[in-house]
Amino acid sequence: MNFLGTVIASSYPPGPTTSNFSFVVTNNEPIPVRKGQFVQINTEDGLLLGMVQEIVKTNRFYSHPEYVREYERGGQPLASIFPCDRWDMLIANVKPLGVFTNGIFDKVSFPPSPGEKVYIADDEVLINLLGLDVENGLNLGSLRFHDLPASLNMTRLLQKHLAILAMSGSGKSYLATVIIEELLSRKPDSGRVAVIIVDVHGEYSSIANMPEKNDQLDLSEKVTVIKSPFVQFATPLISNRWFGTLQPEMSPIQVRELGRIIAEMRREYQNKSYSLKDLLAYIENDAKIPQRSKEALLGWLYELEETDLFGTEEAPNLENLVKPGHAIILDLSEATSLKKKQLIVAYIATRLFGLRRRGVIPPFTMILEEAHQFCPQARQELAISQKIIEQIAREGRKFYASLCLISQRPVRLSTTILSQANTHIILRISNPNDLDTIKASSEMITSEIISMITSLPVGEALIVGSAVNYPIFVKIRQRYTKESSYEVDLEKAAKIFEEQSNPKKQIK
């Protein structure tokens, strides 16, 4: 058994109570206990579980500074005069989380007694307490301070949307890759979703790389990469209202006129496909629309036409490509304007949600990098994709359409969307405004936890919300698939540049 120590009757903070107690560590290992670790006690009420909130080190010999100074004035350290080491003492303060009685987990309604023995929590109990899904879950890494996989149940993690928040360079995209690897390696009888990744920086195609080791899964067959120049919208699918959201400056009257014109054009074209160019020509020839409305409408639609996105057929063909256990990576790194990126996201998201509602495509999760660019909080920002993403955030759960929002600026992300994400995975954040936003977004996040977020190392995460019963800290596992290119440092980049511009001279 992993014995730690004994509950004490303490006066500061007063305890044991139902909301906190302290124990003195009697285990002799050098570092027997750590902040954040889960512990258990057998009480008369059942098995009580708690989390170590703080650890205090004390030593009576050093508690009066004037004595220490007086003794050590003579040049001899105190420890050479007295057996100080033996009086080193660790007191750990614990927040009780719940109590197991007859297999049922309940709130703590009776305090543990002084003298009771404290142990490190057993794995089985911890799995139950935290609500992990060890058999069938997504393995994101290992629980900090416990030798347990952080396997999260897929439904609990994704169905009510997920947000991954942290400053840049702290491991958001890496974690998203780990989640994708887990989703793509599921077996059909575990339940598989389709994955759509909005890859703003073009960094996800490495998921299709060969795995690090031979015995790990090769995902290359399960990934389709589409670069933005190859994206094309099927104009005949776009209704007048939909045009209205893609070009928000169109007036309601113009949208109505467009509706009439599209209806007439469809009748005339019957089953023949048409592009936005055809539609524009049709509007030019329309005699019914007042001249001023016509000019305005043409102006707005020409602006859309200039993006080169509106064709006759859809590419990629979502009906064919969105498959269970398969990922589509939409690489937007070559799309230069934010408007173009937003148009693509708005079109794809609208189509995915429509197809999903009709049951044409399987349940899916859409991973959205730089989510604050696509659904900003500030009203004056360009936000063509906002409406549909907010709709999926609100209604997606019923249709098994889920969102995984990634952002390094939570404060700039629409609060409507953030509040719909029921699980938050938070990596290192230090910006105080972002921390405030995060604190406001979940009542589970206490000031204690906030202080832990600011000191998280790269690749460690806090998970809170519906995926787990209690907030947990997780060390994110290594990805199976190889990272595409290792970041080159400034010195190396400078040398490469000089070598390339002056090939004769090899710079050492």
Ligand X SMILES: Nc1ncnc2c1ncn2[C@@H]1O[C@H](COP(=O)(O)OP(=O)(O)O)[C@@H](O)[C@H]1O
Please identify which residue in 159, 173, 254, 481 interacts with ligand X, judged by CB under 6 A. Answer: 173
The strand pairing partners of 328, in sequence order, are 196, 224
When CB distances are held under 5 to 8 angstroms depending on the partner's kind, the choice from ligand X, Mg ion, none that residue 171 binds is ligand X
Residue 361 and residue 219 in contact, taking contact as beta carbons nearer than 8 Å: no
Dihedral (CA of 65, 67, 73, 75) sign: negative
Q: In angstroms, rounded to a whole number, what is the distance separating the alpha carbons of residues 75 and 72? A: 5
Question: Cα–Cα distance between 480 and 327 in angstroms, integer?
Answer: 16
Check binding of 173 to Mg ion (CB under 5 A). yes
When CB distances are held under 5 to 8 angstroms depending on the partner's kind, the choice from ligand X, Mg ion, none that residue 402 binds is none
Question: Residue 169 or residue 290: which is nearer to ligand X going by CB?
Answer: 169
The one segment of 164-172, 279-287, 347-355, 466-474 that binds ligand X by CB under 6 A = 164-172
* Part in contact with Mg ion (CB under 5 A); list of ranges 136-144, 165-173, 248-256, 275-283: 165-173
Assess 169 for contact with ligand X (CB under 6 A). Answer: yes
As a whole number of angstroms, the distance between CA 51 and CA 439 comes to: 20
Record the tokens describing residue 465, joined without a space: 């919300």
How far apart CA 455 and CA 83 sit, in angstroms, is 35
160 or 477, CB closer to Mg ion?
A: 477
**254 forms part of the interface with Mg ion (CB under 5 A):** no
Task: List the one residue from 170, 407, 441, 442 that touches ligand X (CB under 6 A).
Answer: 170
Helices (H), 358-489: 371-374, 386-399, 415-420, 432-441, 447-453
Among 459, 462, 465, 481, binds ligand X (CB under 6 A): 459
Judged by beta carbon, residue 174 or residue 374, the one nearer ligand X is 174
173/420 with CB nearer Mg ion: 173
Helices (H), 306-385: 318-321, 338-357, 371-374
Q: Whole-number minimum distance, CB 146 to ligand X, in Å?
A: 18
Q: Is 172 in the site for ligand X (CB under 6 A)?
A: yes
Binders in 465-484 for ligand X, by CB under 6 A: 476, 478, 483
Binding-site residue total for Mg ion (CB under 5 A)? 2
Partners of 142 in the beta sheet? 149, 475
310 φψ region: left (φ > 0), alpha (ψ -120 to 50), beta (else): beta
Binding window for Mg ion (CB under 5 A); candidates: 3-11, 47-55, 173-181, 387-395: 173-181
Kindly tell me which residue out of 15, 111, 171, 471 binds ligand X, with binding defined by CB under 6 A.
Answer: 171
Question: Contacting ligand X (CB under 6 A), which of 166, 194, 219, 404?
Answer: 166
Beta carbons within 8 Å of 337's beta carbon, 6+ residues apart:
none
- What tokens were used for 359? 């049951």
Residues engaged in binding ligand X (CB under 6 A): 166, 168-174, 458-459, 476, 478, 483
Residues engaged in binding Mg ion (CB under 5 A): 172-173
